[in-house]
């Protein structure tokens, strides 16, 4: 915080409202898109899941065959939901932390529209059988420019905000956000060059593919989630993070080690052993940032857990940060060759991916939306009950999904290592767990619908303005915002 701002609280309050107002259009379109694509991804995931225990389900429709609908599920989840949720988070959080208005709002809104068109075209292409066949980069090449161009707008806006910031200190969340804007374009361009554009062949292509597949989660989704947690947890409970030293150590160790971890996906593949060993070492070194981040998130909460009863944002943020610790420990151990002897090529990996994406990343994005949307729109969430339904469905659905898949995966792996076990018996063993997975997915879907209803209501213009202002907890805040609102409305006229 700059000295001028510190000595003038009135300027600070007005500035913050204006920051939020400037972000309303661009951030809302990204988050609304995120929820739309989350719904599509969940439906595609449910269809994929059902096909594994009931192969005849929608079996006569060629564009819904498993090989097409499953990539649509993953791509709409990681780019459609993850990309837009992270972009909205990046824009709003950076604007807040820089205490500056979001620049080029019209350009960013246009970027949001273009991005959606890109995902839509790419998904239709995959459903029509035009998948590239490269995991996580399945979208046809003609859709990629439509995803890259909006991201360029976001990178420009991000740098513009940072270099015109009114604050002197770079908060730890900003380190992560700035890093994401640099890392992600390098990742995408390098991976596309080495896979779909054919710059390299053979196993080198597989290395590039899994270097990207792992890092799109670790160097795009994860930093955005951690940035959100580092802002939301202390902000909601009104307590600075436990150790700022550790938070910076966590960022830099994450930056150094995560990039190396991807090749552990290829354990047992026809690669030089040292390439896989590097991946394993990189994965184990991730214990350093994970432990530092875990200590910070959990120790900050110590003594403040009672706020979980009253704050929706905190519920999702704490759920996300706790599962970050658990899923990261799980992921590091999973990279070991001795572990993979059992779990590689089993449902365990699927359980782990969903545990991380829907247990850590998604709840933190939900937390961000719950915290920011009332401040962006001036409206209030219409139903506390729907928020509670969303939270419990997310938590229970995720646990049902992850526990069933991880348990089934371990048993499946042990049976596959037994040469006397008939393969069909192994398949039959997993079927009940695949049903449980579909049940977990349905519970998650119910939560998504609850959130969609609430989100639809909050973006209605002025529908519930100032009816139940959760975000204003003192009368002084309330009156100040009310006066500012009147002033802005007069200016609009």
Please identify which residue in the block is written with the tokens 């659905």.
397
Please identify which residue in the block is written with the tokens 């459903």.
127
Tell which one of 176, 184, 231, 260 touches another protein (CB under 8 A): 231
The reply on whether position 460 binds another protein by CB under 8 A is no
Give whole-number Cα distances, 387 to 208, 370, 383, 393, in Å. Answer: 41, 9, 7, 10
Site string for another protein, 345-374 (x = CB under 8 A): -------------------------xx---
Rg (CA), the chain: 23
Candidate segments 44-52, 69-77, 282-290, 469-477, binder of another protein by CB under 8 A: 469-477
Under a CB-based contact definition with an 8 Å cutoff, are residues 264 and 283 in contact? yes
Q: Given the complex with another protein, which of 382 and 394 has the nearer CB atom?
A: 382
Tell which one of 216, 387, 393, 415 touches another protein (CB under 8 A): 387
Under a CB-based contact definition with an 8 Å cutoff, are residues 18 and 356 in contact? no
Residue 366 burial by Cβ neighbours in a 10 Å radius (0-12, 13-18, 19+): buried
The reply on whether position 253 binds another protein by CB under 8 A is no
Size of the residue set binding another protein (CB under 8 A): 60
The reply on whether position 248 binds another protein by CB under 8 A is yes
Site for another protein, residues 295 to 334, rule: CB under 8 A: 307, 310-314
For the CB of residue 433, give the shortest distance to another protein in the complex, in Å.
35
Q: Given the complex with another protein, which of 105 and 363 has the nearer CB atom?
A: 363
Tell which one of 361, 380, 389, 445 touches another protein (CB under 8 A): 380
Q: Given the complex with another protein, which of 277 and 383 has the nearer CB atom?
A: 383
User: What gap in Å lies between CA 161 and CA 102, rounded to an integer?
Assistant: 7
Smallest CA-to-CA distance from 364 within 306, 402, 324 is with 324
User: What gap in Å lies between CA 237 and CA 229, rounded to an integer?
Assistant: 12
Give the tokens for residue 418.
């037994």
The reply on whether position 9 binds another protein by CB under 8 A is yes
Under a CB-based contact definition with an 8 Å cutoff, are residues 371 and 236 in contact? yes
For the CB of residue 301, give the shortest distance to another protein in the complex, in Å.
13
Under a CB-based contact definition with an 8 Å cutoff, are residues 210 and 266 in contact? yes
Site string for another protein, 170-209 (x = CB under 8 A): xxx---------x---x---x--xx----xx---------
Number of residues written out for the chain: 493
Under a CB-based contact definition with an 8 Å cutoff, are residues 332 and 214 in contact? no
The reply on whether position 1 binds another protein by CB under 8 A is yes
Tell which one of 203, 410, 442, 480 touches another protein (CB under 8 A): 480
Smallest CA-to-CA distance from 40 within 110, 116, 108, 154 is with 116
Helix 312-334 vs helix 273-285: angle between axes, to the nearest 10 degrees? 150
The reply on whether position 97 binds another protein by CB under 8 A is yes
The reply on whether position 390 binds another protein by CB under 8 A is no
DSSP symbols for 313-371: HHHHHHHHHHHHHHHHHHHHHHTSHHHHHHHTTSHHHHHHHHHHIIIIIHHHHHHHHHH
421: helix, coil or strand? Answer: coil
For the CB of residue 313, give the shortest distance to another protein in the complex, in Å.
4
Tell which one of 60, 338, 420, 474 touches another protein (CB under 8 A): 474
Q: Given the complex with another protein, which of 90 and 472 has the nearer CB atom?
A: 472
For the CB of residue 130, give the shortest distance to another protein in the complex, in Å.
26
Candidate segments 29-37, 148-156, 337-345, 471-479, binder of another protein by CB under 8 A: 471-479
Tell which one of 150, 234, 331, 441 touches another protein (CB under 8 A): 234
Smallest CA-to-CA distance from 175 within 115, 78, 249 is with 249
Neighbouring C-alpha atoms within 13 Å toward the C-beta of 125: 20
381: helix, coil or strand? Answer: coil
Helix (H) or strand (E) holding 309: none
For the CB of residue 257, give the shortest distance to another protein in the complex, in Å.
13
- What is the binding site for another protein (CB under 8 A)? 1, 5, 9, 12-13, 16, 97, 167, 169-172, 182, 186, 190, 193-194, 199-200, 231, 234-241, 244-245, 247-248, 252, 255, 307, 310-314, 370-371, 380-384, 387-388, 468-475, 477-478, 480
């Amino acid at each position: 915080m700059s000295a001028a701002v510190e000595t003038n609280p009135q300027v600070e309050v007005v500035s913050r409202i204006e920051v939020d107002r400037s972000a309303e259009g661009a951030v809302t379109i990204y988050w609304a898109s995120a929820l739309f694509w989350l719904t599509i991804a969940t439906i595609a995931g449910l269809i994929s899941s059902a096909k594994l225990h009931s192969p005849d389900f929608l079996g006569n429709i060629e564009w819904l065959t498993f090989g097409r609908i499953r990539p649509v599920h993953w791509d709409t989840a990681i780019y459609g939901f993850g990309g837009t949720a992270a972009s909205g988070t990046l824009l709003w959080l950076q604007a807040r932390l820089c205490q500056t208005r979001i620049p080029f709002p019209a350009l960013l809104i246009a970027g949001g529209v273009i991005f959606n068109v890109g995902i839509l075209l790419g998904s239709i292409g995959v459903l029509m059988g035009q998948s590239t066949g490269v995991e996580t980069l399945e979208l046809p090449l003609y859709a990629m420019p439509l995803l890259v161009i909006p991201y360029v707008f976001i990178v420009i806006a991000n740098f513009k905000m940072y270099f015109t910031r009114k604050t002197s200190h770079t908060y730890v969340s900003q380190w992560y956000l700035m890093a994401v804007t640099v890392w992600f374009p390098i990742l995408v361009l390098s991976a596309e060059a080495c896979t779909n554009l054919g710059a390299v062949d053979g196993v080198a292509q597989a290395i590039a593919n899994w270097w990207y597949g792992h890092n799109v989660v670790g160097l795009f989704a994860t930093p955005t989630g951690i940035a959100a947690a580092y802002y939301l947890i202390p902000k909601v409970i009104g307590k600075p993070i436990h150790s700022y030293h550790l938070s910076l150590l966590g960022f830099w160790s994450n930056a150094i080690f995560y990039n190396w971890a991807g090749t552990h996906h290829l354990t047992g593949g026809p690669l030089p052993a040292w390439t896989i060993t590097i991946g394993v070492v990189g994965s184990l070194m991730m214990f350093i940032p994970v432990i530092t981040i875990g200590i910070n998130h959990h120790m900050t909460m110590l003594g403040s857990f009672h706020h979980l009863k009253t704050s929706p944002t905190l519920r999702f943020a704490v759920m996300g940060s706790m599962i970050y610790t658990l899923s990261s420990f799980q992921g590091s151990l999973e990279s070991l060759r001795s572990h993979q002897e059992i779990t590689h090529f089993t449902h365990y990996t699927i359980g782990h991916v969903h545990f991380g994406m829907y247990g850590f990343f998604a709840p933190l994005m939900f937390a961000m939306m719950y915290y920011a949307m009332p401040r962006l729109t001036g409206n209030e969430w219409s139903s506390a009950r729907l928020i509670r339904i969303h939270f419990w469905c997310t938590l229970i659905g995720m646990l049902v999904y992850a526990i069933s898949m991880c348990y089934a995966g371990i048993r499946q792996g042990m049976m596959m290592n037994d040469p006397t076990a008939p393969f069909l018996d192994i398949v039959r063993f997993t079927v009940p767990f695949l049903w449980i997975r579909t049940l977990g997915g349905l519970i998650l879907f119910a939560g998504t619908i609850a959130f969609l209803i609430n989100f639809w209501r909050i973006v209605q213009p002025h529908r519930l303005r100032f009816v139940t202002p959760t975000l204003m907890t003192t009368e002084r805040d309330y009156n100040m915002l009310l006066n500012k609102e009147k002033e802005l409305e007069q200016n609009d006229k």
